[in-house]
Amino acid sequence: MQQGKVDRQPAYVLHTQPYRETSLLVEVLTRDYGRFMLVARGARRPRSDLRGLLLPFQPLQLAWFGKGELRTLHSADWRGGVPQFAGARLVTGFYLNELVLRLAARDDPSPSLFKLYDRAVRSLVDHALTATVLRRFELALLEELGYAPALTQDHLAQPIVPQARYLCRFGAAPEPTDSEQAPRGAANVSGATLLALAAADFEQPQTRREARLLLRLLLDELLGPEPLASRELLTTLYALSD
């Protein structure tokens, strides 16, 4: 058996780039081994069996061998059930991929993250409201990373009041406010929105609008100053709005 051989591992392709003359470097998210890089030798050859398989948003079953930062892909099989994305849903998928690439640590096994990503991709296939899919994924990703916002109590440990307004900042519990404005580094959201997020209820347009502001604020703290290319495209396509 080849050293470090792994068989039949559920995975998704997050990103590919050319490598040498005929190969690809493939960033993958796997169920049991987390995110890492594979080299797919000969994948760019016209007759390669891998050529039409290593595509984003397609559920795959991979086998590879080797250890270290760069492992070698042995085989890939399509698990089916997800058609190719197009238009706004394609850009939405790239946004999911960028978030995982930027925020998920390499070689950090996380079956729960894989499950979240798989659910988001399949929700897009089912023609769910794009904004709802994104907000659910963003909130769950923050929880997975250990940066979930406080949603049911304010900074004094008092229950959130649906009719009240709150200022929310990264790493801090919500603070009641009488203003509709938000200072720099804060999001001004209603108590109803916070409680809806706690219940994973995105039915109301106001919840989706305010959740977008809050989750973007929190994610930007983790992402740093470099913008997400896919977010710029999504904003242009109005896919982050209602």
Closest CA to 102 of 94, 91, 111: 94
pLDDT at 238: 53
At residue 44, what is the residue type? R
How far, CA to CA in Å, does 9 sit from each of 34, 169, 188? 11, 39, 43
Tokens of 176: 């009641």
Tokens of 230: 């896919």
Each of the 242 residues of the chain gets a pLDDT tens digit; together they read 456 799 999 999 999 999 999 999 999 999 999 999 999 999 999 889 898 899 999 999 999 999 888 999 999 999 987 888 888 889 899 999 999 999 999 999 999 999 999 999 999 987 667 888 999 999 999 999 999 999 999 999 999 999 999 999 999 999 999 998 999 999 999 999 999 999 999 989 999 999 999 999 999 999 998 888 888 887 776 544 44
Report d(CA 82, CA 200) in Å as an integer.
Answer: 25
Digit-coded pLDDT (tens) for 98-107: 999 999 999 9
